[in-house]
């Protein structure tokens, strides 16, 4: 992995659920150097198309993490939101290893508050209570939820009639625009289980991850697709 004195930044992703896998694939496809860790051998195997630094780990203790070399990454994202205790301890271990920027996924404000207090940047990709208020205060087609680096964003896009009634497979947003959908919300409903046969609704809001410029192009095109 690249060390901090090199110009190219490297990214570590711990946890290969839907969010972690989409994050890893998007960074790798953008030419970024990544390392991924998970306890699931199949998920790790799938990531080896993107990086040779894909490791199966049996635990996330400090010494186990150190052995993988993840402390040499410039940014580490802990994507274990559904296991609160593991999420917090892993985040703390990564911070204590001296990683300059640690981002941690939270599934609740309470979890996020703890993660923030121990020194992590917190992201709520699945359900961010603050975003609901922001939607009422900020107008515009794109709302940026989180800036992963100077190029890669996690953003919300409001759908319109252009894609309503089309499936994810028919819309081909990843192929056409190079962005990954990681969640879809509609009023008080949200899902991260984005299957190819999911049919878009005109009231859907998409949570996408990708290059900032590509997200902007998708937002511009939503009026005509």
Helices 109-117, 84-96: axis angle to 10 degrees equals: 20
Structure tokens at 5: 């004195």
Q: Is the pTM of this model over 0.85?
A: no
Structure tokens at 157: 């896009």
Q: Are 35 and 12 in contact (CB under 8 A)?
A: yes
The per-residue pLDDT for range 212-221, each reduced to its tens digit, is 888 888 888 8
Coil, helix or strand at residue 84? helix
Q: Are 69 and 1 in contact (CB under 8 A)?
A: yes
Instruction: Give the chain's domains with CATH numbers.
Output: 10-123 (3.40.50.720), 129-221 (3.30.70.1450)
**Rounded Cα gap, residues 76 and 61, in angstroms:** 15
**Rounded Cα gap, residues 105 and 78, in angstroms:** 6
The per-residue pLDDT for range 25-34, each reduced to its tens digit, is 888 888 889 9
The per-residue pLDDT for range 78-107, each reduced to its tens digit, is 999 788 999 999 999 999 999 999 999 998
């Amino acid at each position: 992995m690249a060390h901090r004195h090199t110009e190219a930044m490297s990214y570590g992703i711990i946890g290969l659920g839907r969010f972690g896998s989409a994050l890893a694939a998007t960074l790798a496809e953008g030419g970024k150097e990544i390392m991924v860790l998970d306890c699931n051998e199949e998920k790790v195997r799938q990531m080896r198309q993107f990086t040779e630094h894909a490791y199966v780990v049996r635990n996330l203790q400090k010494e186990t993490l150190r052995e993988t070399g993840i402390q040499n990454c410039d940014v580490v994202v802990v994507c274990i939101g559904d296991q609160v205790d593991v999420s917090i301890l892993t985040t703390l271990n990564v911070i204590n290893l001296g990683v300059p920027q640690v981002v941690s996924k939270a599934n609740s404000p309470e979890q996020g508050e703890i993660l923030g207090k121990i020194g992590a940047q917190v992201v709520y990709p699945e359900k961010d209570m603050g975003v609901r208020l922001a939607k009422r205060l900020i107008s515009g087609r794109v709302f940026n939820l989180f800036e992963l680096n100077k190029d890669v964003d996690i953003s919300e896009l409001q759908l319109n009639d252009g894609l309503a009634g089309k499936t994810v497979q028919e819309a081909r947003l990843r192929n056409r625009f190079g962005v990954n959908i990681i969640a879809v919300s509609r009023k008080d409903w949200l899902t991260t289980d984005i299957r190819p046969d999911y049919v878009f609704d005109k009231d859907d809001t998409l949570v996408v991850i990708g290059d900032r410029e590509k997200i902007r192009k998708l937002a511009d095109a939503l009026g005509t697709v």
